[in-house]
């Protein structure tokens, strides 16, 4: 009888736990943050509820940790990893460290490389005895002993796996950086990388390595080789010269099914594809691969023959949706263009209709655009899709000049081809969605996505037939081919790809030898340009140093082959820096994945000087993602106004905020240690802020007296 009573009690408790929306398994799993963005499914979700709607206003700083290595052009974009009572993070100068999760006291720190860069997260592997922390550091993946911080000598070469090795062509001098973590599956490290937006660029092979030794185990070619699926979507032998179609933003793992979901970016060059005619598989695609072998299970291409830099910008999120009373395991992929594509996780079948919409052809030399592009009918876009005259910012003092720019540019919504007169890209090059990713509540099937609504203007520059007799003229051509897309047509610098600094009057700040060294080796967020010839480096230094006397060098004219460059990544803003479009300029969105409807949308971020004038909260550009908790909250920073905010996840109401020392352009993490819940994030600025810092901060509720 006692056994029957006990069994009945167990069944009752199990049913109650299911009715409450979480099983015990889910509660335990979602209390940790031992994976990038919370878990292999990239849900950003925690079942911790000690911090909740009722008490979030009592949050206070529990500890701070300063890395001590911030500099003029450094960034922190790291989502910390928490396991075994330790917080693992990366500094602006790429120092990897472990802290006591209760106190923030440093346990160990190691800096294997001299240079800084970007590291958005870390990975953890354990076999129960050996536990390792792995992190991308520029062209390497480094493996550290999780307890001591010592490099694991048997991994790669003395703890560093060189990702430039193992390709079927020489990429030793081409830009490659592992800015986002890959995934760990069993004893495999599956890794992508960032490469150049122009040519030359590394082909975006997805590769799996032995996590113990670094030995290559399998490769999937995103630019297909002869005989491989999709080869006909490029010109013959394009794999020998083109690059990109890479996974720079990270991946997502269905650990139970053994499927890794890989979103890819565009093929190079971003804005002209006359040398890569065709749809260009597997660029701009969500690819489902067998994590054991690298074999393709299914794919979906979200943009054909991309010439708009419409990379898939974030790891997708594994979700479950309800259809006709049934639960379907799915994968949700947000895009820069403001859409969410939703697919059956196993088959790739779209769970909402997708239409093929026709778009106009390009008038650029040798460019052949795709005649149609796919657009999901649901969920509805979470960012506006076009900029017309009625959308121009009403309170800007420059409204007339903004209208003049709009009237002389092409602006007709998505997928209008780039042009020499200028084409409005809206949402802009930074989304829509960005690399911070989307949060997901498994109890309500709500997806939380933060979004940008900043228009940009892309102006192509025809560089065919340009020449000159001086080193300055020759160097200007080299600059336009390689440097202008980041540093701007007038050397003014841009807030893109690590905030490229102005180069105006460079000769008063740096010597020619210093510039040569930076070009050859890179510095902080700037990659190496070691792939260009010595003559090209000399020429561009001559241009930057304003050398109009020296004569041109032999061997430069034949190197530059692309017919077009562009004038840089230019935001469409007024003279005060406010976007040309009416607010909101940044939003946080709650999307019901069952119905495809947006449940709520609120501005994210605030220009306090505008609010003081009576202008409703505008929102602002944002980088970094949310954390969703069982306490009813969505935590997010991401904005340059320096605030960490908490929103009611049911209504979108802002219920708490805290002014950080620096903007946090990174995704927070939450964890429990010693029965206490903490929220931790990196505060360091970068990208769109002038101030740069080096602080990790943890928040918790005050101890009860």
Higher pLDDT, 262 or 561: 262
pLDDT per residue as tens digits for the range 499-558: 677 888 887 888 887 887 888 777 777 777 877 777 788 778 878 877 666 666 666 655
Domain membership of residue 378 (yes or no) is no
pLDDT per residue as tens digits for the range 223-237: 999 999 999 999 999
Domain membership of residue 293 (yes or no) is yes
Q: Using the Cα atoms of residue 172, residue 176, residue 177 and residue 183 in order, give the sign of their dihedral.
A: negative
Higher pLDDT, 288 or 497: 288
Question: Which residues, at least 6 apart from 588, have a Cβ–Cβ distance to it below 8 Å?
Answer: 448, 449, 450, 451, 601, 602, 603, 604, 626, 634, 636, 647, 652
CATH number for the domain that contains residue 496:
1.10.760.10
Residue whose C-alpha is closest to residue 643's, from 588, 580, 562: 588
Last residue of one domain, picked from the residues 314, 343, 361: 314
Residue whose C-alpha is closest to residue 526's, from 135, 114, 177: 177
Domain membership of residue 418 (yes or no) is no
Question: Which residues, at least 6 apart from 375, have a Cβ–Cβ distance to it below 8 Å?
Answer: 339, 354, 355, 357, 414
Write the DSSP assignment of 94-162 as a string of letters.
--EEEEETTT--EEEEE---SS-------EEEE-SS-EEEEEEETTEEEEEETTT--B-TTTTBTTEEE
Domain membership of residue 660 (yes or no) is no
Q: What is the mean pLDDT of residues 51-64?
A: 98
% of the chain beyond a pLDDT of 70 = 92
The total domain count for the chain is: 2
Residue 399 pLDDT > 90: yes
- Which residues constitute the domain of residue 241? 139-177+181-314
Identify the pLDDT of residue 469: 64
Domain membership of residue 323 (yes or no) is no
Identify the pLDDT of residue 490: 79
Q: What is the mean pLDDT of residues 49-69?
A: 98
Residue listed under structure tokens 């490659």: 176
Q: Give residue 346's Cα distance to chain centre.
A: 25
Identify the pLDDT of residue 544: 85
Residue whose C-alpha is closest to residue 564's, from 364, 408, 415: 364
Residue whose C-alpha is closest to residue 419's, from 459, 387, 455, 386: 459
Angle between helices 471-482 and 534-544 (to 10 degrees): 100
Last residue of one domain, picked from the residues 505, 527, 561: 561
Q: How would residue 414 be classed by pLDDT, with cut points 50, 70 and 90?
A: very high
Write the DSSP assignment of 316-332 as a string of letters.
-EEEEEEETTEEEEEEE
Identify the pLDDT of residue 521: 75
Domain membership of residue 163 (yes or no) is yes
Last residue of one domain, picked from the residues 561, 583, 601: 561
Q: H or E stretch including 19?
A: helix 2-19
CATH number for the domain that contains residue 286:
2.40.128.630
Domain membership of residue 157 (yes or no) is yes
Residue whose C-alpha is closest to residue 302's, from 316, 328, 282, 323: 282
Write the DSSP assignment of 343-376 as a string of letters.
EETTT--BSS-EEEEE-PPP-STT----SEEEEE
Q: How would residue 413 be classed by pLDDT, with cut points 50, 70 and 90?
A: very high
Residue 2 pLDDT > 50: no
DSSP state of 227: T
User: What is the Cα–Cα distance from 382 to 208, expressed in whole angstroms?
Assistant: 34
pLDDT per residue as tens digits for the range 138-149: 999 999 999 999
Domain membership of residue 371 (yes or no) is no
């Amino acid at each position: 009888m006692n056994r029957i009573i006990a069994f009945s009690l167990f069944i009752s408790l199990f049913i109650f736990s299911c009715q409450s929306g979480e099983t015990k398994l889910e509660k335990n799993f979602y209390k940790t943050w031992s994976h990038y963005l919370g878990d292999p499914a990239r849900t950003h979700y925690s079942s911790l509820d000690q911090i909740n709607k009722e008490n979030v206003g009592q949050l206070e700083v529990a500890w701070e940790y300063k890395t001590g290595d911030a500099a003029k052009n450094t960034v922190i974009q790291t989502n910390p990893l928490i396991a075994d009572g330790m917080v693992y993070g990366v500094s602006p100068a790429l120092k990897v460290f472990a802290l006591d999760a209760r106190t923030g006291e440093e346990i160990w720190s190691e800096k294997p490389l001299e240079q800084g860069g970007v590291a958005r997260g870390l990975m953890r592997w354990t076999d129960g005895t050996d536990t390792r922390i792995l992190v991308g550091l520029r062209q390497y993946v480094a493996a550290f002993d999780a307890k001591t911080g010592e490099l694991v000598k048997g991994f790669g070469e003395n703890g560093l796996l060189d990702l430039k090795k193992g390709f079927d062509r020489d990429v030793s001098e081409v830009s490659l950086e592992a800015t986002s973590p890959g995934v760990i599956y069993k004893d495999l490290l599956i890794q992508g990388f960032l490469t150049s937006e122009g040519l030359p660029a590394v082909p975006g092979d997805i590769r799996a390595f032995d996590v113990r030794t670094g030995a290559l185990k399998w490769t999937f070619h995103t630019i297909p080789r002869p005989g491989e699926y999709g080869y006909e979507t490029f010109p013959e032998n394009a794999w020998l010269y083109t690059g990109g179609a890479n996974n720079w933003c990270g991946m997502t793992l269905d650990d139970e099914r053994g499927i890794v979901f890989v979103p890819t970016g565009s093929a190079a060059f971003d804005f002209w594809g006359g040398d890569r005619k065709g749809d260009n598989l597997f660029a701009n695609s969500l690819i489902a691969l067998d994590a054991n072998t690298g074999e393709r299970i299914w794919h979906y291409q979200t943009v054909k023959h991309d010439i708009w830099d419409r990379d898939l910008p974030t790891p997708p999120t594994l979700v479950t949706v309800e259809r006709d009373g049934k639960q379907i395991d799915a994968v949700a992929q947000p895009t820069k263009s403001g859409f969410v594509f939703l697919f059956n996780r196993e088959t790739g079948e779209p769970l909402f209709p997708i239409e093929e919409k026709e778009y106009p052809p390009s008038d650029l030399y040798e460019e052949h655009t795709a005649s149609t592009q796919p657009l999901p009918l649901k969920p509805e876009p979470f960012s506006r899709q076009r900029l017309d005259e009625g959308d121009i910012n009403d309170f800007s003092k420059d409204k007339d000049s903004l209208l003049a720019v709009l009237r002389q540019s092409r602006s007709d919504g998505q997928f209008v081809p780039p042009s020499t007169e200028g084409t409005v890209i809206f949402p802009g090059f930074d989304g829509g969605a960005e690399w911070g990713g989307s949060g997901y509540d498994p109890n309500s099937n709500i997806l939380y996505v933060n979004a940008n609504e900043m228009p940009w203007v892309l102006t192509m520059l025809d560089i065919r037939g340009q020449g000159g007799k001086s080193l300055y003229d020759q160097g200007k051509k080299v600059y336009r081919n390689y440097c202008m897309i980041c540093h701007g047509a007038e050397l003014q610098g841009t807030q893109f790809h690590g905030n490229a600094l102005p180069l105006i009057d460079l000769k008063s700040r740096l010597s020619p030898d210093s510039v040569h060294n930076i070009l050859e080796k890179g510095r902080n967020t700037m990659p190496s340009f070691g792939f260009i010839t010595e003559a090209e480096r000399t020429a561009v230094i001559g241009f930057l140093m304003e050398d109009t006397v020296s004569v041109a060098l032999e061997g430069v004219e034949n190197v530059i082959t692309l017919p077009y460059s562009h004038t840089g990544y230019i935001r469409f803003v007024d003279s005060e820096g406010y976007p040309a479009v009416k607010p909101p300029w940044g939003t946080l969105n709650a999307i019901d994945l069952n119905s495809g409807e947006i449940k709520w949308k609120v501005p994210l971020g605030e220009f306090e000087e505008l609010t003081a004038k009576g202008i409703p909260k505008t929102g602002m550009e944002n980088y970094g993602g949310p954390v969703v908790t069982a306490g009813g909250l969505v935590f997010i920073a991401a904005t340059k106004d320096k605030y960490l905010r908490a929103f009611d996840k049911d209504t979108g109401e802002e219920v708490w905020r805290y002014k950080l020392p620096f903007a946090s352009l990174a995704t927070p993490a939450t964890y429990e240690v010693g029965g206490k819940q903490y929220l931790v994030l990196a505060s360091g600025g970068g990208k769109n802020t002038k101030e740069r810092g080096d602080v990790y901060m943890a928040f918790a509720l005050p101890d009860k007296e």
